Amino acid sequence: MNKAAHSPELEVVVAVAADIDVVAARRQGRILAEQLGFSASEATLVATAISELARNIVLYAGTGEIVVGRVDGGERFGVVIVARDSGPGITDIKLAISQGYSTSGGLGLGLPGVRRIMDEFEIDSEPGHGTTVRVIKWQRL
Ligand SMILES: Nc1ncnc2c1ncn2[C@@H]1O[C@H](COP(=O)(O)OP(=O)(O)OP(=O)(O)O)[C@@H](O)[C@H]1O
Ligand SMILES: [Mg+2]
């Protein structure tokens, strides 16, 4: 295992308020995933998930943040992405994560896609208070 994989302090926080921040968050996520020893293709999946979550922040909440870090799972470690905002929230989470559901005329593939490409997926949302999405990709052993 490389040295970075043992550094629990590895964490990046990116404030998200515009499209340019989506690009920055995506890039930071890829760099961190690669530092942690993930393959280039896995790092691309991590970057894609960040990009979808950050795009949702800009589109639905206006502002928020993306935190990317290392998470310890005992035998293995992973990369965790937390996307948080204080926007309008999601009333029906089950509907929001179903393929093809969109309130913005989009494809409705963002959340279901993120769920599919990551190993763990959690949404916590309270209408009127905001949304937090937490996803993890574990290192392959
Ligand atoms: N951070 C958020 N705050 C409030 N609502 C959200 C948030 N993220 C997603 N949603 C809601 O969940 C729906 C589904 O999101 P998803 O990313 O899957 O699709 P989309 O953004 O509509 O389209 P696509 O991502 O394919 O361009 C959105 O249309 C929106 O109603
Ligand atoms: Mg989306």
Please give the structure tokens belonging to residue 38: 């993930």
Phi, psi angles (nearest 5°) of residue 86: -115, 40
Report whether pLDDT(1) > 50: no
Please give the structure tokens belonging to residue 24: 């920055």
Q: How confident is the model at residue 47 (pLDDT cuts 50, 70, 90)?
A: very high
Q: Is the C-beta atom of 57 inside 6 A of ligand 1?
A: yes
Please give the structure tokens belonging to residue 8: 């629990």
> Residue 3's pLDDT is what?
47
Instruction: Tell me the helices (H) and strands (E) count for the chain, helix number first.
Output: 4, 5
Tell me, in angstroms, the distance from the centre of ligand 1 to residue 20's CA. 19
Tell me, in angstroms, the distance from the centre of ligand 1 to residue 121's CA. 15
> Residue 140's pLDDT is what?
82
DSSP H helices in 1-141: 19-35, 40-56, 93-96, 110-117
Residues 26 and 37: beta-carbon distance below 8 Å? no
Report whether pLDDT(18) > 60: yes
pTM above 0.75, yes or no: yes
Pocket of ligand 1, candidates 22, 56, 129: which has the most ligand atoms within 8 Å of its Cβ, to mutate?
56
Half-sphere CA count of 3, side-chain side, radius 13 A: 0
Q: At 70, is the secondary structure helix, strand, or coil?
A: strand
> Residue 7's pLDDT is what?
52
Q: What is the mean pLDDT of residues 92-108?
A: 97
